[in-house]
Amino acid sequence: SPPEGSRYPPGPEGKPLIGNLQDLDLTQALLASSQEVADQYGPVMRLTLAGREHYVVSTEKVANDLLRERGSIYSSRAQAPASAQLLPDNLRPVLLPYNEIVQQIVAVNHNLERIASPGAYLVDTFPILMKLPRFLAPFKREIEELHRREHSLFRGLLEDVRERMKDGTAPKCWERDFLENQSEFNLTDDKGAYVVGTMFEAGSGTTSAAMMSFVLAMVLHPLWFRKVQEEVDSVCGAERMPYLDDVRQLPIVRAVIKETLRWRPVTAGGLPHMSTKDDVYEGLFIPANTVIHPNQWAIHREPELYPQPESYLPERWLDSSYRTTFKSPLSVYPNLHNYSNFGFGRRICPRQNIAERNLYLLAARIAWAANISKAKDGEGNEIDPPLNDYTAGFNAQPKWFPFELQVRSQERWAVIEEELKRGAESEPLK
């Protein structure tokens, strides 16, 4: 119980045994309810789920104060049996507690990935179910089969590069880097295969979710898409595609991406950290082993930081009248550094630079190559895509919606084909 002078944060009353299981929309990862949660309970809300403390943090300040400033005790991960133990057989780095192994892994490449949706398996809420024998626990058989598949995928990739290293055809890549320095990293083949293999899980789902939200934003805000096109055209012309070197000169592209991530954060319910020691923060008691959910949906809607939070306003990053968000010079800002979108403290996304560059380049190239607009129905009426019909799970992305995508000219099409050919022939990391 709380030490003298401290108290538990407020939260909804739970039920015996299951606690607040019914209050937390597990599959939606708080997406739908997060703002109401913040309004009703303030910056820290307490839930208990089957005996475990879960605190939902809804302001950037509290998230940074705890997860970054007190990172020494808020950098672990809850060990959900289904997703952390059964599926990866304790090999998946993103789910490991903060300890030596994680530090070794961070040394290899800082890669990792997203985990399965919270609550997808009852055993994650009631770990006691792990004690059931296999024949009574269909979830064990199901997840073990998934583990076999992902293990053989990741090991297959590693072995493929190992073989190609023998005849000197392995390209420069993370697998090769791992194999060349394996003894230094002190990781087994399996661990190395997971470190590298999970990298593309972490990078692909998140990036594609962000890009789908970008397309949605551009369909809904055609004026901004036109501004992006004008900016890209003024820098690159019609003869060549945008490259990374152009990004400095593309503040509108950067602002549109940053606002997309603010408006529709990819990890809307946040990737939870777990505390490892009792703590008191501003009079609130936070026992060891509390799971802290940074509620990014709410964090990105704090009206003091983001006036008119529901509106899609890239100008808040470009116009000096937006005092809480604008920064100059525009050759550097806006950018995605120190942005809560990528998490907090020691577990912050270690590859945010890759993510950032990918997103700018993808947005600039889509705008350079194509026109995006609302789709039309059989009678020629424009179809409005839903504003907020998003998938469940950690990576929030819009569900399928119709839109038009048309190449801007034959000249640009020819450049795309040329780039495609060059890309297929060249080494990706050169």
112 or 216: CB nearest ligand HEM: 112
- In the three-class reduction of DSSP (H, G, I as helix; E, B as strand; rest coil), residue 212 is classed as helix
Fill in the amino acid letter for 139: F
Residue by residue, DSSP assigns 319-366 as -TT-TTT--S-TTT-S-STT-GGG--GGGS-TTHHHHHHHHHHHHHHH
Residue closest to 301 by CA, chosen among 55, 54, 114, 39: 39
Shortest Cβ 282–ligand HEM spacing (Å):
21
Measured CA to CA, the distance from residue 38 to residue 29 in angstroms comes to: 14
Shortest Cβ 300–ligand HEM spacing (Å):
12
Shortest Cβ 97–ligand HEM spacing (Å):
10
213 or 235: CB nearest ligand HEM: 213
73 or 199: CB nearest ligand HEM: 199
103 or 234: CB nearest ligand HEM: 103
Fill in the amino acid letter for 85: Q
21 or 367: CB nearest ligand HEM: 367
Shortest Cβ 26–ligand HEM spacing (Å):
18
Torsion sign (Cα): 138, 144, 147, 148:
negative
Residue 378 DSSP symbol: T
- Take residue 188 and report the two structure tokens written for it: 């087994």
* Closest residue to ligand HEM in the complex (CB): 343
Q: Are 119 and 20 in contact (CB under 8 A)?
A: no
Cα–Cα–Cα angle for 254, 258, 260, rounded to 5 degrees: 120
Token pair 């890549």 is at which residue?
173
Query: What does each C-alpha distance from 283 to 5, 7, 148, 318, 321 come to in angstroms?
Result: 7, 6, 47, 38, 36
Shortest Cβ 382–ligand HEM spacing (Å):
29
Query: What does each C-alpha distance from 163 to 33, 188, 250, 271 come to in angstroms?
Result: 50, 17, 42, 36
Q: Are 355 and 342 in contact (CB under 8 A)?
A: yes
89 or 142: CB nearest ligand HEM: 89
Q: State phi, psi for 403 to the nearest 5 degrees.
A: -155, 165
93 or 385: CB nearest ligand HEM: 93
8 or 200: CB nearest ligand HEM: 200
- Take residue 345 and report the two structure tokens written for it: 């403290």
Q: Which residues pair with 372 in a beta bridge?
A: 405
Q: Are 216 and 398 in contact (CB under 8 A)?
A: yes
Shortest Cβ 195–ligand HEM spacing (Å):
9
85 or 267: CB nearest ligand HEM: 267
Measured CA to CA, the distance from residue 280 to residue 55 in angstroms comes to: 13
Shortest Cβ 243–ligand HEM spacing (Å):
19
Shortest Cβ 204–ligand HEM spacing (Å):
8
19 or 270: CB nearest ligand HEM: 270
23 or 201: CB nearest ligand HEM: 201
Q: Which residues bind ligand HEM (CB under 6 A)?
A: 94, 111-113, 199, 202-203, 206-207, 210, 266-267, 271, 273, 341-344, 347-351, 354-355
Fill in the amino acid letter for 350: P
Q: Are 139 and 82 in contact (CB under 8 A)?
A: yes
Residues 6+ apart with CB under 8 A from 243: 361
Strands across the sheet with 44-49, in order? 44-49, 52-57, 291-294, 273-274
Shortest Cβ 113–ligand HEM spacing (Å):
6
Shortest Cβ 292–ligand HEM spacing (Å):
10
Shortest Cβ 71–ligand HEM spacing (Å):
10
